[in-house]
Amino acid sequence: MWPRLWQTARSEFPRGPRVLLYSHDTFGLGHLRRSRAIAIALVEAYPDASVLIVTGSPIVGRFDFPRGVDFVRVPGVVKLPSGDYATHNMSLDIADTTELRRSIILDTARSFAPDLLIVDKEPTGFRGELLPTLELMRSRGSKIVLGLRDVLDEPDALSTEWDRKNAMPAVERFYDEIWVYGLKDIYDATQGLKLSKSVRNRIRYTGYLKRETADWPEPVPNGDERSDYVLITAGGGGDGDWLMDWAISAYENDPTLTTPALMVFGPFLNAERRRDFEMRAAQFDAIRTLSFDSRLERLMLDAVGVVAMGGYNTFCEVLSFDKPAVIAPRTSPRLEQYIRAHAASTLGLVRMLPTLGAAGENRDPMVMADAIRNLPTQRRPSAAHIPGLLGGLDAVVSLTSQWLGRLQAAE
């Protein structure tokens, strides 16, 4: 049974409101998990709603979805070390894959006929694949929203990226509102962008997206229901092997470190690296390992503290479950995590460990050992007392309700 997040806002739509969420998902889990949280909030508020997530994530089927939420999987793409993209599984070149994705998205939108389209982060989609759908939705009068995480990148890099993707004309033309899932007092997500007054008037800062846990009966993995462990997570894991290496090195170099730890590698960690980490971790009774669990919220709820890279979703969970956290941010290929961690540490929400290299090189195991050991007594994020910090999902529901109310009045 899914928890009631707030007072139900019942709809009088004859067929129930329809919401389409676009989550391009070329890498990691961030876009999908953010879209999923919003989808769950909307069906909690509107029990007769239908919410459909269009995603490129190869593991979307491993997540739980409540009644009212479903997904359409488009062919996946992966980013290569060179910065180029390639098709994930099929033997198609990237141009053919993009065209196939574009067609599936457009046909889905045409058939589903959403009242609201929420686009995660990419105004034109992957390689412009969303533009025909935006044209269709605009012609049909659907509301179109661009949803942005609290930090995209450092200002100069963000400006260059949006220029390269020709994003600004799309924002000007198609988007009714821009929802920033954070607080401007913490960071202005649009720094570096030359936004017109019209676009700036469409921006709504919602606060962070609060997470809840469903009433799952399963215990923590391996049948161990202990709740004194530190959770060490690298999110999707595709770029977090250095964090896992650093954490295991802490136990290898400090024999006095006996704090129990649960390490969740993430589904995209290289298989060879995972086997190496599992063998090293097996030498310590204090360390348990897990490849992936789609219900990370449950694992975090039971932990005494968290060590993470500081991606958006993990940060929201740290705040939601009020967990002491040590953040070791990635600084490449973008500075998003570093900016978020620095701002949060300045406000006393988390502790940030020094970043000494683009991939975590030359990190001191004893620094990590001290961080893990002290986590259970580190102060919690709630001690910072920041108003509206976790109001994001309430704001999303409220903004959606305003639009649906206008549609009802126009009928």
pLDDT at 215: 52
Residue 52, CA distances (Å) to 9, 67, 287, 386, 401 in order: 19, 11, 39, 33, 18
Q: What is the mean pLDDT of residues 363-388?
A: 95
**213: closest CA among 276, 137, 152, 293?**
293
| Each residue's pLDDT tens digit, 89-122 | 777 888 999 999 999 999 999 999 999 999 999 9
Residue identified by tokens 């954490």 is 247
At residue 226, does pLDDT exceed 60? no
Identify the weakest region by mean pLDDT among 58-72, 226-240, 268-282, 322-336.
226-240
Q: Which residue has the higher pLDDT, 255 or 267?
A: 255
Distance between the two ends of the chain, CA-based, in angstroms? 34
Beta-ladder partners of 24: none
Long-range contacts of 164-171 (CB under 8 A, 24+ apart): 165/122, 165/123, 165/124, 165/128, 166/124, 166/128, 167/122, 167/123, 167/124, 168/123, 168/193, 168/194, 168/195, 170/123, 170/124, 170/131, 170/134, 171/123, 171/146, 171/195, 171/199
Residue 30 backbone phi and psi in degrees, to 5: -60, -50
DSSP 25-79: -SSSSHHHHHHHHHHHHHHHH-TT-EEEEEE--TTGGGS---TTEEEEEPPPEEE
Confidence of residue 5 (pLDDT cuts 50, 70, 90): very low
Residues of the chain with CATH 3.40.50.2000: 18-207+389-403, 221-384
| Each residue's pLDDT tens digit, 254-264 | 999 999 999 99
Confidence of residue 80 (pLDDT cuts 50, 70, 90): low
CB 243 within 8 A of CB 230: no
**265: closest CA among 287, 245, 244?**
244
Confidence of residue 410 (pLDDT cuts 50, 70, 90): low
pLDDT at 330: 85
* 251's tokens: 């136990």
Identify the weakest region by mean pLDDT among 200-209, 221-230, 251-260, 349-358.
221-230
pLDDT at 331: 85
Other Cβ atoms closer than 10 A to 332: 13
Q: At the top level of CATH, which class does the domain 221-384 belong to?
A: alpha beta
Residue identified by tokens 């969740």 is 264
Other Cβ atoms closer than 10 A to 285: 8
Q: What is the mean pLDDT of residues 310-336?
A: 92
Identify the weakest region by mean pLDDT among 78-82, 119-123, 402-406.
78-82
At residue 289, does pLDDT exceed 90? yes
Confidence of residue 76 (pLDDT cuts 50, 70, 90): confident
| Each residue's pLDDT tens digit, 18-57 | 999 998 866 556 788 899 999 999 999 999 999 999 998 8
| Each residue's pLDDT tens digit, 134-187 | 999 999 999 999 999 999 999 999 999 999 999 999 999 999 999 999 999 999
How many Cα neighbours within 13 Å face the side chain of 400?
31
At residue 370, does pLDDT exceed 50? yes
Computed over every residue of the chain, the mean pLDDT equals: 88
Residue 43 backbone phi and psi in degrees, to 5: -75, -20
Percent of the chain with pLDDT over 90: 69
At residue 85, does pLDDT exceed 80? no
Confidence of residue 3 (pLDDT cuts 50, 70, 90): very low
**370: closest CA among 380, 362, 378, 379?**
378
Percent of the chain with pLDDT over 70: 87
pLDDT at 14: 60
Residue 389, CA distances (Å) to 100, 186, 316, 319 in order: 40, 10, 10, 8
At residue 409, does pLDDT exceed 80? no
Q: Which CATH number is 18-207+389-403 given?
A: 3.40.50.2000
